[in-house]
Amino acid sequence: MMTYIVDAWLEQPQPRLRVTDRRSGRVLIDWGAERVRGLLERGDLVVTDFCCSPQRVQDTVRELFLLACCRCDESGLPAIPRQ
């Protein structure tokens, strides 16, 4: 089972969201202000999703991976950094 560290600074002037694999330390998602603001404005990302039960946070992380895989941003760039 993979475990993750979620660093979500969503209510900051420059919001950021990062998901890291706890065991390897590899950053799996690293979204800056523009991407996070877009997700918040569309309702794809909700601040309270990170303040609930561990199961809800796990579901939210799964949804973030789906968003990353479908490349929902307009830039067409890969959402998950390749290493």
**The pLDDT of residue 26:** 94
Cβ-Cβ contacts under 8 Å for 23 (sequence gap 6 or more): 2, 3
Torsion angle in degrees (nearest 10) through CA of 12, 17, 20, 22: 50
**The pLDDT of residue 31:** 92
**What pairs with residue 6 in β-bridges?**
19
Of all residues in the chain, the percent with pLDDT exceeding 70 is 82
Mean pLDDT of 35-54: 85
Residues 42 and 74 sit within 8 Å (Cβ to Cβ): no
Residue 72 has pLDDT above 60, yes or no: no
Q: What confidence tens digit (pLDDT) does each residue in 2-15 have?
A: 688 899 999 999 99
- DSSP state, 81? P
Q: Which residue has the tokens 């420059």?
A: 14
**What pairs with residue 16 in β-bridges?**
9
